[in-house]
Chain A
Amino acid sequence: GDSVTQMEGPVTLSEEAFLTINCTYTATGYPSLFWYVQYPGEGLQLLLKATKADDKGSNKGFEATYRKETTSFHLEKGSVQVSDSAVYFCALRKGAGGTSYGKLTFGQGTILTVHP
């Protein structure tokens, strides 16, 4: 079945450091890929998405590129801030058609802590 694997955390960085959180997936067909962020005490929010190979999603300085050849969707940010401290989830959604359309498969989440 479909699965998403994220790098294990927690990840601890100093402010202005470069961030990479690795995400790889297993799925048939052409899934859409997502990064969600969960701030303390809140629900998940969509951070960025990509719906086809070679697409780059970006938002709030974060970027991720859909690499079908390596089945990856790594999250990057050039300079993190304390306010980026949160849990980050990689997820996939299968393509149109089939009974599981609409369902997201999430990775286990990566805790990011950024220190001043």
Chain B
Amino acid sequence: DAGVIQSPRHEVTEMGQEVTLRCKPISGHDYLFWYRQTMMRGLELLIYFNNNVPIDDSGMPEDRFSAKMPNASFSTLKIQPSEPRDSAVYFCASSRQSTGENEQFFGPGTRLTVL
């Protein structure tokens, strides 16, 4: 089975540009999580969804960040406008809680560099 798929793997953009990160969770999983990882702040949960509905977005840093999950097999994290301090590795993870399983499976991440 394919794991969590993220695209692009690397993104370099200039300050002020819009950035869209994409995630395809594992089929059948009902939770999807977006994380950000930096050396300074470690691993931060930005937002998570259950059955395509956002449950907790308290980790989203500011209004420049938005996330959507239009269906069970796709989610996006958008930054508009991007700033250099947004440079980080962004991870998507999914899990299947409905059957009692509780392991989160992580994608390979998107390394974002904002110049």
Would you call A99 and B56 a contact (CB within 8 A)? Answer: yes
A18, CB-defined interface residue at 8 Å = no
A42, CB-defined interface residue at 8 Å = yes
User: How many residues of chain B are within 8 Å of chain A by beta carbon?
Assistant: 22
Digitize B38-72: 1 where CB-to-A-CB distance is under 8 Å, 0 elsewhere. 00001101001010000110000000000000000
User: How many residues of chain A are within 8 Å of chain B by beta carbon?
Assistant: 20
Would you call A102 and B50 a contact (CB within 8 A)? Answer: yes
Digitize B4-22: 1 where CB-to-A-CB distance is under 8 Å, 0 elsewhere. 1000000000000000000
B104, CB-defined interface residue at 8 Å = yes
Which chain A residues border B48 with CB–CB below 8 Å? Answer: 102-103
Q: Which of A41-61 contact B (CB under 8 A)?
A: 42-46, 49, 51
Give chain B's interface secondary structure class. Answer: strand
Q: Which of B45, B102, B108 contacts A43 (CB 8 A)?
A: B108
Give bound CA distance, A34 to B103, whole Å.
Answer: 9
Would you call B95 and A43 a contact (CB within 8 A)? Answer: no
Would you call A49 and B103 a contact (CB within 8 A)? Answer: yes
Q: Looking at the assembled complex, report how far the CB atom of B111 sits from the nearest CB atom of chain A, in whole angstroms.
A: 9
Q: Which of A20-28, A78-86, A104-112 contacts B (4 or more CB under 8 A)?
A: A104-112
- Report which A residues bind B (CB closer than 8 A): 32, 34, 42-46, 49, 51, 89, 93, 99-104, 106, 108-109
